[in-house]
Structure formats: structure tokens, C-alpha cells
Structure 1
Amino acid sequence: MKPPAKRRVSALVALLVGAVLATSGCNADSATSSGSGDPPDGVLTGPGVTDTTITVGALTDLTGVYATLGKSLTQAQQLYFDEVNASGGICGRDVRVLVRDHGYDVAKGVAAYDEISPQIVGIPQLLGSSVVTAVLPSLERDALLAIPAAWPSTMLKERYVQIVGATYDIEMINGVGYLLRERRVAAGDKIGHVYFEGEYGENALAGAKFAAREAGLTLMEHRIKPTDSNMAAQVAALKSQGVKAVLMSAGPQQSASLAGTAAAAGLNVPIVSSNPGFAPQLLTTPAKAALERNFYLMNSVQTPSSQVAGIQSLVQAYEGKFPGSAVDNGVAFGYVTARVFGEAMRKACEAKDLTRQGIVAALHGINAFDSDGVMAPLDFSRIGDANTRESYVQVPNAQAKGGLASVDGPAPAEAALRYQIAP
């Protein structure tokens, strides 16, 4: 049975009006993003930004192998954005953090990115080199700025990925420089390098090779898988090779095994690690004594035990907001990276362009970022180069907050200043 003519006409009119409104809405969004519209406050916006909120994302690990780090990073970033909101927000808007846990699983990381990317303006935390690599084409397609909790120099050339701190290769060069300054090694010596297969370990190895050539050292390479937890075979080989020091680019579990096994085998040499190779929880294991005696961590952030004012105020605020949570290096790094992203958004607001592209452009206009001493000054203006070539040298200390104490830095080795990062 056909509806009455009058009802059919009314339905047609309603359909046409809805279509016009929908089209107008799409055009308004496009105009605001492209700059041809007239936003209420004169600021261009796009996905992730409304008149009242700015939404950023965090793709992190809260249940996998780096869950402790992911928790510290996420809470520290939430602390920063809560402080921002309490002081009026950015560009008159509150900042909202959309957190997704990928459990250090690449497939879950990609799925989480696909879910939240339409809702956010950028990603101040993207944990894991493998996840970053997997979503990189999508970051470029979507013009989304991401700050990884990973430091491979191979990503420095990417416009939409901003590493914060010294890269893995530079860390190893600075580590060898420290050993030379302290006369723990000298030209003609052999040094070992135990490293993960994949981007993290291979990038660290590139720095170790350069530093060894520059110093006249012989580098003995030992490649391992992330699933290799017992370093007995590597220690036996290193001892037979007569190494005077060991470089380590792996995880905390491997660091503890190497240090403890080396001590038991009488291989009493310094072990210099990339920054992901330590967690304060190691100081509750049987490897504690060996780590405190021979382990050195290369890092871009001050230790929580530092007396630097910026660290002290951060630790106080963090413990006040998250009582009972461990205060480790992830807290300092998470807070600084949130500040970096926040500063880029502030500068984008000043330029009246809070679009994704506007935030990227604003970040690359920052050439002297000051973190109140939590990190060395950072220069984000040179795409393709590290924003710092300085590292802290830190040692495990069960009595220190965060389980670490600084013994040197931040400073670059002379070789690090000469090092040419591969394009």
C-alpha cells in the first residue's frame, strides 16, 4: 500500500534537508582543516580537536614485557596533561589522553592505532620499535606526529616520528668514550657486544662498530634473540675471547643474566648497557651485587635520585599523584616527552594552526627545548639528525631512588660528535 502523497512529499523534504546539513558539516570540517573556514577563535583545527578539547593518544605496553615501563610512561604523561588542564589547558582546551594497551604485540598495536587514529591529533607515547615500524606508513598517511619510547637512528629521517634523546648508536659511542676516559679499555683491547637481533640491537651495533674503529679496539659481536634469557654461552665465549669490557643492547632480563653469570665465571669487566637494558626491579634479584659492581647504563634522562630541581619537583608531584608507584627513568622520560608534545601544541596555537600538520611544523621550529635539567637541551629543528648527542652514565644503586645514580654526564664523546648518522 502506497503512503499518501502528502506524507511522501514531507519525507522527501526531510531527506533533502538532512543531505544538505550533512554536506555542510563535511565542508565545514574540510574548511577548518585547510584554512579556508572561519573558526570561532581563529585557530585552524582538524581531527582530534574540538572547541573545548584536544585528544592525544598513547599506544603502550601495560601487560607485556615492558609493562613496568609502560605504566611509568603513561602515568607521567597523565600527570603532565592534568597539570596543563589545571592551568587552563592549551589554546583554551583541555587535553584528553586516549590510552590503549598493545601488550608489546605488533598486531594489537596496529589494531589499536586503527581504532584511535581518527579521534586524536597526535601520539605522545608510542612504545616499541616494532610497533612504530608497523604503523609508520599509517602515521605518514594520516600526518600524525608520534613520539616513540624507542631510539633507533633509522627513524630520525621520518617527519612524523620524533625521537627524544640520544639514539642507540650514539649511546654506544658515548659508552665506549666513557670507558676510554676512565682507562677501563685502551687501543688494542678487545671488547664484546651482546645485542638483540632487529632494529634496536643492529642500530646499537652500528655505533659500537664506529666507536671501536675510532679507538683502535677489536669488537667481538654476539647476536641474541629477545627470547634468549640465559647468557651463559655468551659469557663463556666472551671470557675465552679475552674481552676487557662488554657492551649490552638487550633487555633487563638479559642484563641480569649476563652480569650474574660473568661474576660467577670470574669475568670481572665493565658492562655498558643501552638505556632499555635496566629496570630497578633487578636489584631485588641475585644479580644485584654484580650489577652494582660492574654495570653502567647509558641514558638521556637524569636519574630520579638526582638533586636537579626539575627532577625533584617531578618526583614529588608524581609520588603525590600516584602513591606507591615505582619512580624509575620511565617517569622522567614520559614527563619530558609529554612536555615536548605540549610545547609543540602551544606553539601551534600561537600560529593559529592546531591541525596535525600545524603541530608537526611547530615542533620542528623548536631548536632549544629546556626540560629544567631533566634532559640535556634538545634541538628538534634538524630532521635526520639526533636532537642531542649527550648521555648520562648511571650505575645501579639499591639505596638510590629509582635504583640508579649518575656518575658522569650529560656529555658527548668526541667520537659521537664526529659520527655521521646514516641517511
Structure 2
Amino acid sequence: MKALTRATAAATALAALLALTACSSKAENDDGDKGDMGAGGVKTGDGVTAETIDLGVLTDMTGVYATLGKSVTQAQQLYVEQTNAGGGICGRKLKLTVRDHAYDPQKAVAAYTELEPKVLGFAQFIGSPFVAAVEQRVDGNKGLVLPQAWSANLLGSPYVRVVGSTYDLETINAIDFLMKEKGLKKGDKLGHVYFEGDYGENALKGSQHMAEEAGLTVVEQKIKPTDNDMTAQVSALKKAGVKAVVISAGPRQAASLVGVAAAGSFDVPVIGNNSAFAPQLLATQSGPALMKNYYVASPTLPIGADTAAAKKLVADYKKAHPEDSLDNGVVAGWTAASVFGEALKKACAEKDLTREGVGKALLTIDDFDAGFGVPQDFTDPKAPSSKESVILQPDKKATGGMKVVQQPGAADAATNYTTGG
């Protein structure tokens, strides 16, 4: 409960931090990229020497999203180890400098302030509110940030780039699945249980758009991260006569919602955003109900996907971390590290490993797949790198606890949607 309270307190603390960070920009680091000519005639700057390329990691290893942070970080460390074993990039070894902000806003901003002058960019930054708090500084410093967050509010910066579909698009794709495969139809009521704040409210935009497009009525249930018992929400949705439910919250809330619904004979399909599931839920009393009536929209295929890249990552990760469970945080971490690596390779080919050079290189990547089924296009900073989603279903027999029930794709409503609109 204390950990969840920190997530709520983060929003309050950010109000003060925003005023502080708005006053801080490249002025405190006027030298910027020095543009030195390094080994091989490659232009270099912050975080790059003749021997190393240093990338920052701002993660949560001990707070609300500790499980996610651990998986993402270990996957990125594995990418670095394998890349370095193969000779590195541009004749240089990759290095990760990791800071645990414990999902605390002050620690997150302080860690960014500490590492920013020392690293080329950030392969990980968990917490969209924290990324938003320093986004103005990121634009001034020009150090690429690949956040593990999918809010459309992060779009627009050439240096803060969302990897995969944003929550609003993901929700549109989720509802499209409910209509095509689970009996939801025009004229029906759709329940939407969502966290107050950036994540849940961006997802709600997707359901509101889809409702307008498809002739649905959305029955909203706003909750807080500290609301773990969904009995009241299930009662309200059942009374309203909804035919399906979207949940944009955490794994704990999803398990409660599905479990309470099953106990009350409220037999409707429930689908969550990618942040609303953890495989550990399958060992709880809600496990059977989750496997029957719960689905998840994901920006990529799961860790247990039937692809060569997924199978290799599973084997390599298990070898490196035999005591740790597999989840889609491994995919998110590996994908972000792979994207950053691809940008570094392209920047090297242009002989420009400065921050600006890497940012320009990313803008040339228009069809990159790290092996999990969804091509990523980074040519437009105002758009997410993909509008596609994969629909997954919990399955305790599957590697990582999720199986694919609908392959990657984008609904017509998502394809025609202006993200964040």
C-alpha cells in the first residue's frame, strides 16, 4: 500500500518540480556536444569517448513498478553484453549507467540532472509524469530518451520518442477486437475503468473516440492507484448493463475486477492496456477467471512468441537470470535497447555520434522490427512509432503467461485517428 501511495503522491510533487525544471535548460550545460573528432574520424560529444558509448537508465527497481523496471533493465543489460561481445558499435563498447528512482518524482528528476551531462542519451526512463517534467530540458540538451511509457502526451519532441502504439490507439484496437470477436455491437454500453492521471485519461480518449465511431456508450469508472478492490466498480457496471469492459489500470486492479465479476456472475469480456497484467496473477484465485474472460492489448508480440528472435531472447535471458520470471518487460527493454542501437549504427555510418547526430539518425528509421512482429517507424516525432496492437490472453501454460489471440494489426479507426486528438 505504501508503494501505491507513492504513485499518487508523485503527481503532487511534480507540480513543484515542473516549476524548477522549466527554469533549467541547456543553459546549465552550454558546451553541449563539443563535436570532437574521435576514432575513425567520427564526430563525438557527450557520453562518447574513443572507447565507450555511455547510455543512461532511469528505472524503478524498488517502487511501484519494480517488477517492470527489473525486467526492462536486465534485458537492456543483456543487449549491451551481447553487442559488446560482438565488437560493440562504431568500434566502441556500450555502457549502461543505471539509477533507481523508486518511482519517486524528486529522485527521478535528480537522477536525470545527475546523468544528463555524462551520457549520450537514455535507453530507459520509466514514468511518463517524470519524463514530462524534464521534456523541456531534453529538447534543449538533445539527448535521446526512449521512455517505457505510452502516453500520447509525450509525443511531439524529436528527442523523446514513444516506442509502440500509445494508450489511446491501443484502446481503439482493443475495442475493435471486442466488437469483431466478442459480441460488442452498436448501441451497447461499454464500461471503462481507468486510473486518474496521464495513463488512464489518455486511454479514455481512445474509448471515447471509438464510441463515437461505432455507436457505443461509455460508462466511466475513474479510480486511484490505491483503489485495489473493484467491487463497487463491478456493481456499477453491472447495474448499467455494460456488455464489455476496458481497464486502464494496474495488474492488481485488473485481477480484482475480473475476479469480482466472475464471482458475481457478471460474464462479460474484459480487456486491459499493456500495463494491466502481470503473469504472477495467474497464481492467484483470480487466475481461472483471467484465463477465461480477460484479454490484453500489447504494442508487440509477447515474450513467448513463436519467432526466432523471441525464442533466442527467452533462452539467453533464462541463462543470464535463471531465478527470474519472464514477462513483457523483457520485450520492452530489449526493443528499446535495439532501437537505440540501430540509431547508433546509422549515426556511425554518417560519422556523427553527437546527440544531434543520433537524433537525426533515428528519424531515418522507418521499418525496424526487433523480432516481435511490429515494425517501428520513427520518421515523425509527432506520431508514435506504430499504430498496431497485438491482442493477448492469459495462459499459465504459455511462456511469460500470455498467448496471442489476434496477430499485430491496427483497426481502421486507429489508422484514421490523430493521436492525442
The CA deviation string for residues 14-71 of structure 1, in whole angstroms up to 9 with x for no partner, is xxxxxxxxxxxxxxx9999454x54342111111011101100110010011111111
Q: Which amino acid in 2 is paired with 1:175?
A: A
Identify the residue that residue 115 of structure 2 maps to in structure 1. 116
The CA deviation string for residues 218-270 of structure 1, in whole angstroms up to 9 with x for no partner, is 11111111111111111110010000000000001110111111111221101
Q: For the Cα contact (< 8 Å) 1:296–1:396, is it kept in 2? A: yes
Residue pairs, 1:299-318, within 5 angstroms: 299-318=298-317
Identify the residue that residue 393 of structure 1 maps to in structure 2. 391
Instruction: Quickly say closer, same or farther: Cα 1:57–1:32, change in 2 above 3 A.
Output: closer
Measure the CA separation in 2 of the matches of 1:203 and 1:422: 7
Match among 378, 382, 385 for residue 384 of structure 1: 382
SS in 2 for 1:148: coil
Instruction: Quickly say closer, same or farther: Cα 1:304–1:33, change in 2 above 3 A.
Output: closer
Q: For the Cα contact (< 8 Å) 2:247–2:271, is it kept in 1? A: yes
Measure the CA separation in 2 of the matches of 1:173 and 1:39: 47
Q: For the Cα contact (< 8 Å) 2:37–2:44, is it kept in 1? A: no
Residue pairs, 1:75-94, within 5 angstroms: 75-94=74-93
Q: Which amino acid in 1 is paired with 2:198?
A: E
Identify the residue that residue 15 of structure 1 maps to in structure 2. none
Identify the residue that residue 267 of structure 2 maps to in structure 1. 268
Measure the CA separation in 1 of the matches of 2:145 and 2:254: 29
Instruction: Quickly say closer, same or farther: Cα 1:47–1:236, change in 2 above 3 A.
Output: same
Unaligned runs of 5+ in 1: 1-28
Q: For the Cα contact (< 8 Å) 1:259–1:271, is it kept in 2? A: yes
Q: For the Cα contact (< 8 Å) 1:32–1:38, is it kept in 2? A: no
What percent of counterpart residues are identical? 48
SS in 2 for 1:193: strand
Residue pairs, 1:307-346, within 5 angstroms: 307-346=306-345
* Offset at residue 284 of structure 1 (A): 1.3
Identify the residue that residue 358 of structure 2 maps to in structure 1. 359
- Using structure 2 for the length normalisation, give the TM-score: 0.91
Measure the CA separation in 2 of the matches of 1:149 and 1:266: 36
Measure the CA separation in 1 of the matches of 2:101 and 2:397: 33
Measure the CA separation in 1 of the matches of 2:47 and 2:211: 47
Identify the residue that residue 412 of structure 2 maps to in structure 1. 414
Give the 4+ runs in structure 1 shifted more than 4 A.
29-32
Residue pairs, 1:7-156, within 5 angstroms: 33=33, 35=35, 38-156=37-155
* Offset at residue 214 of structure 1 (A): 0.8
**Once superposed, what is the RMSD of the aligned Cα atoms?**
1.6
The CA deviation string for residues 107-160 of structure 1, in whole angstroms up to 9 with x for no partner, is 110111111111100101101112211221221221111111100112121111
Q: Which amino acid in 2 is paired with 1:201?
A: G
Measure the CA separation in 2 of the matches of 1:87 and 1:221: 51
Measure the CA separation in 1 of the matches of 2:386 and 2:137: 27
* Offset at residue 183 of structure 1 (A): 4.3
The CA deviation string for residues 147-178 of structure 1, in whole angstroms up to 9 with x for no partner, is 11100112121111111111100111001110
Measure the CA separation in 2 of the matches of 1:42 and 1:155: 35
Q: For the Cα contact (< 8 Å) 1:173–1:415, is it kept in 2? A: yes
Q: Which amino acid in 2 is paired with 1:418?
A: N
Measure the CA separation in 1 of the matches of 2:57 and 2:292: 37
SS in 1 for 2:370: coil
Measure the CA separation in 2 of the matches of 1:32 and 1:419: 37
Q: For the Cα contact (< 8 Å) 2:202–2:420, is it kept in 1? A: no
Measure the CA separation in 1 of the matches of 2:376 and 2:93: 26
Measure the CA separation in 1 of the matches of 2:272 and 2:389: 12
Aligned residues: 393
Q: Which amino acid in 1 is paired with 2:130?
A: V
Identify the residue that residue 8 of structure 2 maps to in structure 1. none
Residue 403 of structure 2 corresponds to residue 402 of structure 1 = no
The CA deviation string for residues 341-371 of structure 1, in whole angstroms up to 9 with x for no partner, is 0010111111111011111110011111122
Measure the CA separation in 2 of the matches of 1:79 and 1:141: 31
Q: For the Cα contact (< 8 Å) 2:161–2:384, is it kept in 1? A: no
Instruction: Quickly say closer, same or farther: Cα 1:38–1:411, change in 2 above 3 A.
Output: closer
Unaligned runs of 5+ in 2: 1-28
* Offset at residue 213 of structure 1 (A): 1.0
Between stretches 237-246 and 303-312, larger displacement belongs to: 303-312
Residue 265 of structure 2 corresponds to residue 255 of structure 1 = no
